[in-house]
Structures are given as C-alpha cells and as structure tokens.
Amino acid sequence: MKKVFIFFISILTIFLFVGCVEKEDPFEKAYNELSIEGDLNSVVENLELPKAVLGYQVSWQSSNTKVVTELGYVFRQEVDINLTLYAYITDGVKTRSKEFKITVIHKEKDSNGEDNQDEALMAEAIASISLPPEVVSDLDLATSYQEVVISWQSDNEDVITNQGVVTRGSTDKTVTLTATFTYKTLEEIKTYQVKVLKEEYVPDDYAGYYEAASGKTGRELKLALHSIISGHTTYSYSSLRTYLRETDEDPNNPDNMILMYTGVSYPKNGSTKAWNREHTWPKSHGGFGNSPSAGTDMHHLRPTVVNVNSDRGNLDFDEGGVKVESALGYGEGSSFCYRVTGVSFEPRDEVKGDIARMMFYMATRYDGGDGCSTDLELNDKVGNGSTPYLGKLSTLLKWHEQDPVDDFERKRNDVIYSYQENRNPFVDHPEFVYSIWGTKDNLKPLFKSNSDYSFIYTLLKPIYYIEEGEKDEKII
C-alpha cells in the first residue's frame, strides 16, 4: 500500500512540474531564431535575409545600402566596410527589432583587372522589378536601374502596350510582359504575367425615374411601371438596322455587333442577308407586326442569324429539344440553342436571363393601350400559337435567376434609353420580377385587363393565374 501511495505522489509531482513550466511565447521564439546564415565578420557574397520566421513577417534596413542592400545584395568596396543590418519582426500588432553587425571584405580584381560586380548589379536590377498580379490602370515599367538598361515586350499590346499603357475590356485578360535586362556584356530575360481586370460598366444616372413605383408591390407595382415606361419615342422598323448595331455592339470590338442567339461577333458593315431583326416577343403573339410601338420597340428587337431566327419562329420559350444549327456557327465559348419542333425554343445559356427580362418588359409595357391593340401577358404553358400570351413563365423566372444582369445588358438599356427615352425596369431592378410574378416554384396570381374580354367580363374577372402542371388558365 505504501508503494502505491508513493507512486501516485510521484505522478502528481510530475503533473505539477509540467503545469508549472512556462510555455514559450511563439513570437518570442521566432525573435530568438531570427538570424543570418554565414560568417558576418567576413562577408564576400550576397546574404540570404529571411522574409519570415515561423510565420512572422520580417523586414530589413541597412545602414549602408551602397554596400549591402535591404534585399541582401552585397557590393564590395576598395576597403573593408563595417555596417549594421536592422531586422524588424512583427506579429501584426507589436514589432521587435534586432541588429546584426556586418563586415564586408574589400573587393578583388579578376585577372583582367575588371570589377567582379557586374552580376551582382544585374541581380539587383532584376530584384527591383515587381509587377502587381492584377491591374486596372497603367503600369510604371522601369526602363533602367542604375546602369542596367531594361526593355519591355508585351504579347498583347491591345491590352498592355510595351510602355505599360493599359486598356480594359469587357472581360479579364492575362498578358505576358517580357523584360530584357542589359548591362555591358550581360543580358538576362524575365517574364511577368499581369491580369488586366475587366472594365466595370457604370450605368447612367436615372435617379427619380422609378419614383412613382416606390413602395408598391405586385399588381400595383406592375401598373406603376407600365405608366412609367409607356409613351416612349418610336422609330421605323427600317431604321432599326442602324440602331441595333449600336445597342448590341461587341464590347471587345466596336466595329462588330453580337448576334443574340449564337453569340457570334459579326461586322456592322457585313452583309445584311446574314442577320435580321428578331422580335423576341413574336409578332403573331399580339398581332402588332412591324409597326410602332411594339413592333419596333428596341427593348425586345435583337440582331440574330437569319436561319436561327427562322427556326425559332413564334415558339414559346422553354428547355429541351434538338440543337439548332447556325449558318454562321456559334461564338467562341458559347453554348447552343435547342428546339422542340412546333413546341418551344431554348436560347443559349448566356442570354437566357436577358431574354426573360425582355419578356417581363413586354408584358408590363403593353396592356392593350398605345402601340399594341392587345394586352401581352405571360403564362406558364407552351404552344400558345398566335394568342397574345407567351410562355413558359416558370422557365423565364428560372432563367432570370440563373443568368443575372451583366454589363452588356446594362449598357444596352442605357443606349436604348438615349433613343426611346424609356428603360427596362427589370434590368435596373431585377427584384421587381419576384414582386410581380413570384418565383419559378411559386407563381403569383396575375392581374389582367385584356381588351379581348368584354367590359363586364373585365370588371367581374380581372384576375387569372396559371397552376403549375395545368395547360389552361384558371379564372378566379
């Protein structure tokens, strides 16, 4: 029993001893380990100055940068030189310094009597160049470092010139810059990759434009938006070829325009037989033809490849089917269009949200008043034929969510506004869509005042909705 007691006492003593041992502060440990390798009393080569110790950042200062730089490059002189290197280690809150006394041994001559410092100077020149990985403005490309000459070559001068001038586009671009360092008979080549970030489009200031819709939701919001965007300036159908070249201009090539369904960048001055003006809300779904306002409203008129426009016809929008071939092919990196013959048309992924918001615009802008004799409405079905309905609403809501508004769409809205003097509210305020139509999984009841109904019927039955899975409207 006595032995057992002594054993427990021993174990307890060990635990108490371990618990009393003070743990070393990791920052203090890093400070203690901070050092410079080599004989500091007889320096003849470049020094390796640590930039971090145990994860703590270290910076350096030299009392004589002509002899030892803050990067550790050594330039030997005619006589031995004594100097001090100061190290600063930080944990982000506190900083401690440490001094290292250095003696740089005098330089020697080679057999030809030339200084043996050329390579060190080249190394210093190369180390002096540091380019940011991403830029949005011009670069300051150094052309010399002391006596070292630096020349630059860009692999894409449309984005970054050899002088460092940056031109931003609609997409991020990575450019390789090659620097050639020349000093006496020495030459070194280094490459640097720089990403030029895309230019963020700043929409026009339309403050106050939607003031009349403030605080409204559902039916009241739709009616308020209709009042705001109605009565716009109209243009002839023939003039639209000119305007669409501007509204759908290729952001990467101002001489071209983007053909909507295929993403093809097509020359503005190219053959007009290759592209035409697509009514994304088909003319037959309302009988408005090519006449103002609905028939020439730029908010839903888009340039497209002729045969793809023909394949779309007046089909409702939905997903599935067989790939639609294009006489001009598809744009680089673009997805494809699909069609279920006589039933539905699916555009490429990149413009699904754009198309959805154009359809929301049309169903809000035209209610049987000016520019269109019938009330255009969205329903949740396909195969609408030549009625003033267009579907499929739940699919359009899905696309609106999956393909959000981008800079191309914002700029297009601004350009149209400069001509028609009305905007697409669902580009400026995507959230309006959910307030009026709900979501793809929860459609809201819709207000309808179609002139096709009799006066009494309109008064008694102003609201209709579509139940998911049903083929016909339910009147309530």
In Å, how far from its chain's centre is CA 229? 29
pLDDT at 93: 87
pLDDT at 428: 95
In this model, does residue 100 exceed pLDDT 90?
yes
pLDDT at 465: 37
What token pair was written down for 145? Answer: 């470092």
pLDDT at 271: 94
| pLDDT band, residue 454 (cuts 50/70/90) | very low
Q: What is the mean pLDDT of residues 57-74?
A: 90
Please list, in sequence order, all residues whose beta carbon lies within 8 angstroms of the beta carbon of residue 353, skipping any fewer than 6 positions away.
399, 400, 401, 402, 403, 404, 405, 409
* Helices 218-229, 352-365: crossing angle, 10 deg rounding: 80
Within 13 Å and on the Cβ side, how many CA atoms surround 367?
17
| pLDDT band, residue 52 (cuts 50/70/90) | very high
Instruction: State which H helix or E strand residue 428 sits in.
Output: helix 425-428
pLDDT at 342: 95
What token pair was written down for 211? Answer: 């003031």
Q: What is the mean pLDDT of residues 253-257?
A: 95
Residue 86 identity (one-letter amino acid): Y
> Which stretches within 231-369 are classed as H helix?
240-247, 306-312, 352-365
Compare 6 and 59 and report the one with higher pLDDT: 59
Paired residues of 148 in beta bridges: 145
Q: Do the Cβ atoms of 66 and 121 come closer than 8 Å?
A: no
Structural domain boundaries of the chain? 24-104, 118-196, 211-475
Cα–Cα distance between 284 and 219 in angstroms, integer?
Answer: 26
Cα–Cα distance between 92 and 56 in angstroms, integer?
Answer: 8
CB neighbours (10 Å) of residue 475?
12
Fold adopted by 24-104: Immunoglobulin-like (2.60.40)
Indicate if the alpha-carbon torsion angle 290, 294, 299, 300 is positive or negative. negative
Instruction: State which H helix or E strand residue 222 sits in.
Output: helix 218-229
Q: How large a percentage of the chain has pLDDT more than 90?
A: 73
Residue with tokens 């730029």: 298
Cα–Cα distance between 82 and 430 in angstroms, integer?
Answer: 69
Please list, in sequence order, all residues whose beta carbon lies within 8 angstroms of the beta carbon of residue 310, skipping any fewer than 6 positions away.
none
Distances (CA, A) of 148 to 30, 162, 186, 348, 440: 37, 18, 9, 54, 65
Q: What is the mean pLDDT of residues 341-349?
A: 97
DSSP for 165-228, written as a single string:
-B---SS-EEEEEEEEEEETTEEEEEEEEEEEPPPPP-----TTTTGGGTT--HHHHHHHHHHH
- Chain-wide mean pLDDT for the chain? 87
pLDDT by residue (tens digit) across 104-135?
A: 998 776 544 445 688 889 999 999 999 999 99
pLDDT at 201: 78
pLDDT at 11: 59
Supply the pTM of this predicted model: 0.63
pLDDT by residue (tens digit) across 213-245?
A: 999 999 999 999 999 999 999 999 999 999 999
pLDDT by residue (tens digit) across 416-433?
A: 999 999 999 999 999 999
pLDDT at 246: 97
Cα–Cα distance between 308 and 345 in angstroms, integer?
Answer: 10
